[in-house]
Structures are given as structure tokens and as C-alpha cells.
Structure 1
Amino acid sequence: MLTIRNATLADGREVDVRIDTSAGRIAGVGSTLTHSGDSIDADGKLLMPGMIDAHVHFREPGFSHKETWETGSRSAAAGGVTTVVDQPNTDPPTVDGASFDRKAEFAEASYVDYGINGGVTPEWDPEALFDRPTLALGEVFLADSTGEMGIEEDLFREAVEAATDEYRVVTVHAEDADLFDEEARERAGDDYDAWSAYRTAEAEAAAVERAVEIGAEADARIHVAHTSTPEGVDAAKAGGATCEVTPHHLFLSREDYDELGTFGRMNPPLRSEQRREAVFERVADGTVDIVATDHAPHTREEKDASVWDAPSGVPGVETALPLLLEEARKENLSYERVRDLTAANPADVFGLTRKGRIEQGLMADLVLVDPDASREIRGEDLHSKCDWTPFEGMRGVFPELTMVRGNVVYRDESAEYEGIDADGEFAEAVGENVRG
């Protein structure tokens, strides 16, 4: 047994949390627990459920020069993420049994728990995917995101119906390429802002409306990935879907292109400051369901290209929770809202019933932080294989300790806790598939 004593939860309660380390579960939560075995004094520290990042690209197989399961999951653990959901656009894409099995072999190197999403292409094999522990379908593209047009509507309907039959969520990348503005692209030329002018806000809202309409016809569970506009968020919620917002759409806007250059290119693109503020309001007031990172690392050499040639995507798995905790420290968000956005709500959306909360009987996926220990974010200090961040110079509140199923997987080298045996920053890679 391990007891975390005097910890402050997101709702302000000060409690002891007892962990059955052999079972990886929380054995008790209360103010009068008897202590047995090792213990940690967490007086003055905030104890959060580990973040469930429902949208990452750990790049293996096929693109290990950008990221690996080992480096990506270390970065996750150092940022307080205890579960990740990997998307299927690897090489080969995760669209059948053989490709799923191959990715699952790479995922065995993970320090954190994981889900693997199945992809949808004309060659996909739903029977084989659903015969395996596939968490959800996604990221299903209604977009021109990877250099090829998104899937046809008939195939999207097929995927939605198959997922519904198997009680799986369909995660949708929603941009209608027919509404991209070619004239704006020509006017902007090679200006960095051209990417945002080209991939219009209207394209997102229209695709969200289409996706949720098709989903409603099949009584499906539709989850809209990386909504970047208030219109997209509102369309998702009006259609009965859940939605996520990324940290880069929450904290960055088109005004940051002068500093970011092509390192700020992603899909959907950065939006106006006015739209960013409106999205933040929807995150703060409870409209948005979850924050997920769309962690999509590329090398510096790859990103250092023209706005039309640079690949889309930015890293973010290590900085998401710290950025949100910094907003809570500044009282722009409540700690309870951060908890719900990063843990409780993702668990509900994706059916991870044993995760996302600090309650007796649930998995001991926990993050301990000093809520006042704000520090500057620097790419060179992060653990992703990609050594840069779009949030360079911003501030975050980083974890001192991250536990996955009662196992300490990360400990900040400057933090010392009696009863915790961890050499260096990282302990053992213990990640498991969340569907078993």
C-alpha cells in the first residue's frame, strides 16, 4: 500500500488517498484514513487525475525520425498525461488487422496507458479492426489534411454505421475542402498567414454540420477533433456531438505567425484572435467537452520550409496540462474545469470507466503538482524527440510526480518524496492498452 497524505483535490478538499499498488487501484479516499505501508506527504500540493490525451500522433510505425512510442510517452508522462489515444495515419495506416498488430507491438514501449484508433480508407477492414482492442475510429478525415482528399460520404456513412454497431466513437477531422479559399491563397502568396486565409473557418463549420447530421441518422457517437472556431464548437454541440479543442487553438492565433512562421502551420489552422478568445470562453464555460493535443511532431528541418511545403502539425502532449494549470493558477479557469477537460470528460466520451477520477476502485492514474511552481516553457527542456514547441517562452505548471496504475513513471528530479523510489526522471515503461 501507498498513501498520499494531505493532498488537495481540484474541488479544494484536503484528503488522503490510499493506493493498492499491487492492483494499481485507488483503495480509499478520505480525511481519516489509517496509514499502512509507504506514504507521501503532499501538504500544499495539488493531486489531479492523470490527463487522458485523446488525440496524439506518436508516429510509429513509419516515421520514427519524428517521434517514437518511447519518446512520445515519456513526454506525455512528464506532462502529467497518463493515457494517450493514438491516431491511425502512420505507415502503414492502422486500417486492418495486420497494421493494428504492428502498431500494438511498437506501443509496448509506452510509459503510459494507450488506446489505438482504427482508420477508415477504401481498403479498411472493419471486421478485423473491431476484432481487436480498437478504442475508436478516427481521426476520420472529412478534409484535405494529409495531401489527399477526405473519404467519400458513402464510406463515411459505412464507417459510422460499423462503429455504431460496435459501440465505438467516431472521431472526425472536419474541414470541407470545397470551401477552401483559393483566391485568398493566391492573394496571400507565401505569407505565413496564407494558410489560415486558405483553410477558412467556414470550411470547418460546414464539415462539422455534415458529420453530425450523418451521425444523427445512424444514432452514432460523433466526436469532433480539434475544433478551432466558435462556429465549429457550436455546430458540434447543436448536433449532439462531443468536441475537443487543442492547446494551440486555445492559446495561439494568427497574430503569432510573425514569431512562429511555418512552425505554426497546422490543420485546422490558427484563427483570428477574436475567434481564439471565443473558443477560450467556450472551454471555460463548459461548452467544450475536452482538451486534446493533436500532438503531431515534425523535425525542425521539415518545418523550415515554405508555408505551402511545410508539414502541418505541432508537438503538445507535454505542455497541455501545464498550460491549463497555469490558467487555473491565474484564475482564468477553475481547477475543477481543468480536471474535467483533461480527465473526467475524456473518460466519459471514450468509455474509459476505470479512469478520469480520484475515486475508490478506479485506476491510480495520478498527477501531483505544486500549484504555485510556474516556470517558463522551453523546447530544450521537453522530452519529445522533436526538440521544439510552439509555446516557447510561455509559462506552465509542470508535474512533480506522475503515476500510472499506481506505478511512478515520472518524477521531477528536483522533487523528493519519502517512500518513492525512482532513479532519475523516469521509472519503468508500464503502459497497457486501455481496452485490454
Structure 2
Amino acid sequence: MLITNATLADGRTVDVRIEGERIGAVKPQLPGEPDVDATGKLLMPGAIDAHVHFREPGFPHKETWETGSQSAAAGGVTTVVDQPNTDPPTVDGASFDAKAELARESYVDYGINGGVTEGWDPDELFSRPVFALGEVFLADSTGEMGIGTELFERAVERAAHEDTVVTVHAEDATRFDRRALEAAGDGIGREGDADAWSAFRSAAAETAAVELACEVGARSDAAIHIAHTSTPEGIDAAVRAGATCEVCPHHLFLSRDDLEELGTLGRMNPPLRSEERREAVFERVRDGTVDIVATDHAPHTREEKEAGIREAPSGVPGVETMVPLLLAAAERGEFARERVRDLVATNPARVFCLPRKGKIEEGMDADLALYDPDRIEAIHGESLHSKADWTPFEGHEGVFPELTLVRGTVVYDHGKEGENGEFGRPAGRNVRR
């Protein structure tokens, strides 16, 4: 394939030749007839979403590898990293193998994280192509203590021995404000007291857990990555300790001010924070303090989410809207295009050691997404491809890809309709194979 006259994030206009699965050349005016004339279009390296929950095995009514990876491709994401809290959890060889078999349906490349719970089997896990350890919970989704410091220390020591990153869900449940949740009303959906969840899972709980995780990591010289940091204090604690960190689009573009409209659709862990904290997080993402943006794509059905604040499951879908939201912000002048590229592609490849991904250069995997920056459109849940038919970003602006390639294979073509609609064929493989 030859793509001509493409604009890169740094402003250069180039032709890109694809040879097999790799990028063969990136130069102006390459010889040959173009397959894609990208005049006026933005060509980005395929995004790497380092934090998704595709729900299989165990919860296929929420999402499957097929639907989740199609949603990723339709959002310009060409690599995903799936977390282990499925059923069964990915904590040993058999559970890893079962998930790997399901992942053969993926349209995009993927990594499979190994989990850490009582009864995990690190010998079996590390005999498989595990992407990383995590998301390791220092507080689980019900608000109780996670795996405990002793098991966390053992897991970190083993990860350091294996030269593997540990991704940490950092909340200290001992600092949760249970009185805030007890005082919440009994309404459901938009009538519920959704803000009580934000008051319950306090900002101080995040900072304390980040500091603990980094302290344990430093003793073992392990690579610690803090998932979904939601506060400026948590980000700063990670940076001081030399850990890497991610921010999710919902903590970047939404705050507690949106909960009156979202209701229990806006319940997530960590929760939405104040508008003041959101603005401070946004600035740290913009100025280069934060390493990556990842989604924590955690779909539930609308019926499941429209419950009381105590019963509604935590999590929101997001893999399809991450890059579109950031590119729309770039077109508004809130980010440089190069910063978007680094947040979703170049930096995740560096943090998680994916040397052939994240850049548009000769010899790299031909993971590419082509966008028309002038085609800014409103986001609507019913138009997305996840099994969740809703989005917390309803009505927000996005720039969606016209074409997505995974290692040279077209997996999504916005303008094409065939037997599989806009999608090609499953082209994903384990990046750690």
C-alpha cells in the first residue's frame, strides 16, 4: 500500500509505503500509484490503549473480544492491553490460555495482563507471554482492601525478577469516607446521589496508595505504573517517586459537575473529581507530566448501570472515544497534535517496551490511523461499536478515523460496507508472543 500526501502530527507532509506488515519508507513523493490519497488528512500511529476490560471470559453480555476490538479499531486504537479481572481471573496458566484462545477473535493487536490474587501461580503465568502484572488492586471495586501489602510485595519482587511492569490500581480503602456513602439517597439512575461515590472514594485515598506502591517498587527496583490517576496529588506523587502514570479520558474531560446529568452512569473507580482537580489534571496531561492516556474501558449494560449508587457497577466504556476526544481538543487548540501522538502511541510503546509500535518510521509495524481533522462530529453512544449502547461523552466532540490499519491490514474503513460492515477481518495477535 502507498499512502500519499499525508500530514503527520509534527506537520510534515509525506508519503508512506507499506511493505507486508511493516512501514517500508516515509518520504515525500515516493514513486508509484497511490492506494490512498491522504491530502489534507492527518496520519497518526495506531494508538495503544494500555488499559481495557474486554470482559471475556465470564461477562460476554457486557463485551467480547470481537466487539471490544472492533470498537478499538473504529477509534484508531490498534493495540489493547486487557486486564485480568474476568471470570475466571487471569492468575494462572489455564486461565491465561483460556483468555488467549478467546483473544484470537481480536481485530487489533493485544497484550494480556496477569492478575495477582490469593492463589495466583506466578510460575505458570510467567511461562506464558504475559504482557505485564496488573491491574493490581490495592483496593478492590467494592471498597474493601485489595490483595494486601504482603502479597503485593511478593508480586512486585517477582515482577522485578521477570523485568515486567506492575500496573497498580492505587486507592487506600482505609481512607474512604464511608459516612458520605451512608448519607446517599436511594434514587436510581439520574435520580441517584451519584456525587456520593466521589465523596466516598476520597482523593487522599489515591495519594496514599500511590506513595505505598512506589515505596514497595523502589525496594525491589521494579517498574511501577499507576493506572487511572485522577488527582493532581496522585500524579505528582507518582512523578516524585519515578513511576509512570496514566490518566483516563473521563478524568480529563469530566468532573463532579457532570454527575447531575450522568447519574449512576458516572460511577467509576477512581471516581470523578472536582472541576478544580480536573483542570489541574488536564494541565499535567498537556504539559508532559503525565506519560500516557488510557481508557480503563469497562463496559456495562445501561440496565446494570441504572441502579442505586451503592448497587450500580463501576466503569464506563471508552476505547472508541479516547483518540477522537483528544484530537477534537487538539483542533480547539487545547493540545498540540504531537502531544496527542505521544500520549496515545509513542509513550505507551516506550513505557511497556513495544519497540516496533508507536511511531511512523521505516521498519515499524504498519499500525496507522487516518483522520480528517475537519470532520469534527458529536459523539453518540448509539453510533459506537461497543456492546454498551451508551457513552459518558454523549454530545462531546470527536474526530474519528476514516481508516485503521493493523500491521498493514485494513481492519476498519469508515466508508466501506461489505459482509462485515465497516470492518475487515480479525488481524490481532499477542504482542508478547
TM-score (norm 2): 0.97
**2:318 corresponds to:** 316
Report what 1:251 is aligned to. 253
1:119-158 maps to which residues of 2 (within 5 A)?
119-146=115-142, 148-158=144-154
Structure 1: any 5+ residue segments left out of the alignment? Answer: 416-420
- Identify the residue that residue 306 of structure 2 maps to in structure 1: 304
1:405 alignment partner, one of 386, 404, 407 = 407
Q: Alignment RMSD, CA only?
A: 1.3
Counterpart position of 1:27 = 24
Give the counterpart letter for 2:286 in structure 1: A
Distance in 1, matches of 2:136 and 2:249, equals 21
Q: Give the Cα separation in 1 of the matches to 2:406 and 2:285.
A: 27
Counterpart check, 1:10 vs 2:12: no
What is the aligned counterpart of 1:194 among 181, 193, 196? 196
CA contact (8 A) 2:114 2:130 kept: yes
2:100 counterpart residue number: 104
Per-residue deviation, 1:423: 6.8
Aligned to 1:435: 432
Counterpart CA distance in 2 for 1:353 and 1:129 is 23
What secondary structure, in the 3-state scheme, does the structure 2 residue paired with 1:85 have? strand
Question: Could you give the per-residue CA deviations for residues 223-277 of structure 1, whole angstroms, max 9, x where no partner exists?
Answer: 0000000000000100100000000000000011110000000000000000000
Residue 223 (structure 2) aligns with: 221
Q: CA deviation at 1:34?
A: 2.0
Say if 2:422 is the partner of 1:425: yes
Cα distance between partner residues in 1 of 2:92 and 2:143: 22
Q: CA deviation at 1:201?
A: 0.2
Name the SS for the 1:79 alignment partner.
coil
3-state SS of paired residue (1:401): strand
1:202-241 correspondence runs (5 A):
202-241=204-243
2:355 maps to 1:353:
yes
Aligned residues, how many? 427
Say which SS state the counterpart of residue 172 (structure 1) adopts: strand
Q: How far 1:149 sits from its partner (Å)?
A: 2.6
| Deviations, residues 155-182 of structure 1 (Å, cap 9, x unaligned) | 1011001111111100000000000012
Alpha-carbon separation, structure 2, partners of 1:225 and 1:3: 38
Which amino acid in the other structure matches residue 75 of structure 2?
G
The CA distance in 2 between the partners of 1:286 and 1:82, in whole Å, is 23
How far did residue 33 of structure 1 move? 2.1
- Indicate the residue corresponding to 2:365 in structure 1: 363
What's the secondary structure of 1:400's corresponding residue?
strand
Instruction: Name the residue aligned to 2:50.
Output: 54
The amino acid of 1:105's aligned partner reads E
* Percent identity (aligned): 71
- CA drift of 1:183 comes to 2.2
Cα distance, 1:358–1:187 mapped onto 2, change above 3 Å: same
Aligned residue in 2 for 1:418: none
1:147 CA drift (Å): 5.8
Return the offset for 1:35.
Answer: 2.2
Deviations 1:119-160 (A, max 9, x none): 001110111111100000000000132565301111101100
One-letter code aligned to 2:8: L
Please give the alpha-carbon distance, in whole angstroms, between the structure 1 residues aligned to 2:304 and 2:257: 23
Whether contact under 8 Å (1:413, 1:424) holds in the other structure is no
Is the 1:411–1:422 Cα contact (8 Å) retained in structure 2?
no
Question: Residue deviations 1:274-322, cap 9 Å, x none?
Answer: 0000000000000000000000000111101000000000000000000
Name the CA distance, whole Å, in 2 between partners of 1:47 and 1:311. Answer: 37
- The separation in 2 between residues aligned to 1:144 and 1:78, in whole angstroms, is 31
The one-letter code sitting in structure 2 at the alignment partner of 1:19 is I
Residue 87 of structure 2 corresponds to residue 91 of structure 1: yes
Q: How does 1:278-297 map to 2 (within 5 A)?
A: 278-297=280-299
CA-CA distance at 1:186 after TM superposition: 2.9
1:246 & 1:302 partners in 2: Cα distance?
22
1:423/1:193 CA distance change after superposition, 3 Å: closer
5+ long unaligned stretches in structure 2: 187-192
| Contact 2:145 2:172 (8 Å CA) reproduced | no
- In 1, the alpha carbon distance for the partners of 2:82 and 2:420 equals 28
Distance 2:383 2:166 in 1: 35
Residue 156 of structure 2 is matched in structure 1 by: 160
2:190 alignment counterpart: none
Q: Deviations over 1:378-430 (max 9, x none)?
A: 00000001110000011100000000000000011279xxxxx9973001111
Shift of 1:199: 0.3
Change in Cα spacing, 1:13 to 1:68, as seen in structure 2 (3 Å) is same
CA distance in 1 between partners of 2:81 and 2:180 (Å): 35
